[in-house]
Each structure stands twice: as structure tokens, then as C-alpha cells.
Amino acid sequence: KLRFSPYVREAVVVGHRRPCVAALVQIDMDTVGTWAEGRRLPFTPFTELSPKREVSALVRAEIARANRGLPEATRVRRFALLAKELDAEQGELTQTQKVRRGAIAERYAALIETLYADPAPEGTEV
């Protein structure tokens, strides 16, 4: 459901054998960029837009919307915004732009671990 949001380009959900479901989210640069410009949020590259608190709040609201109607155990509870776009050349996507979950889990293992820290890092909870 989360990928149906116009602000989300990709969402990789993790949580197998974990206390809750978490997601690594790649924002849609064009849509979020237009949204940010409308709110006069300065940015130039993707790497400046993704870490903004306002963008995190936007994605948090989209996750909350996607969670509605889902069983409790499958709701995303924590998330992180990726600082870059996923890339086929780096093995994160197939040539047909499908997510390579194993490669993502390996490349972002440290980030995933921080999502399960107790207490949760600031800004990661839904």
C-alpha cells in the first residue's frame, strides 16, 4: 500500500524475526521536490531533500495512511528515508527496476539495525 503514495518511489519492508515491521523508504524526488518547493523548503540534490524533518513528517503521514486497515502485526512501526536513490548498477535493483531485497538488506544492514534500537532513534517511529 505504501508504494501507492505519490511521495514514495520504493519501500522495502523488513521485520522477519523482529519485534515490529520497519521500512526503508526512497522518496519520489520529483513529487516530493514539487511538494517542498510549494512549501519553500530549500534543497538542491536528492541528498539534501531526503533528511529534512518536513519530508520525514510527510512520509510518516503516508505510512500512517497505508497502515490503516492492516492487521496490527503487519503495520509499519519504524522507518528510515534512504539518502540516495536505489540503483541497478549498484545491485539494488534489477535491470527491470525491481528491488533486490537481499542486496538491500545487506547494504543497509547497519541502518536496519538502528531502526530496531531501543529506544527508537528520533524521527523513526510512526
Q: What domains sit in the chain, N to C, each tagged with a CATH number? A: 2-115 (3.30.300)
**Which has the closest alpha carbon to 23: 47, 1, 43?**
1
Angle at 52 between CA 47 and CA 57, to 5 degrees: 130
User: Do 2 and 63 meet the contact criterion of CB atoms below 8 Å apart?
Assistant: yes
In this predicted structure, the answer to whether residue 72 has a pLDDT above a threshold of 90 is yes
Confidence of residue 79 (pLDDT cuts 50, 70, 90): very high
Phi then psi for residue 93, to 5 deg, are -130, 155
* Strand partners for 23: 13, 79
Q: Report CA torsion sign: 117, 119, 120, 126.
A: positive
Q: How does pLDDT run across 24-70, given as a tens digit for each residue?
A: 999 999 999 999 999 999 888 778 898 899 999 999 999 999 999 89
Q: How does pLDDT run across 82-107, given as a tens digit for each residue?
A: 989 999 999 999 989 999 999 999 99
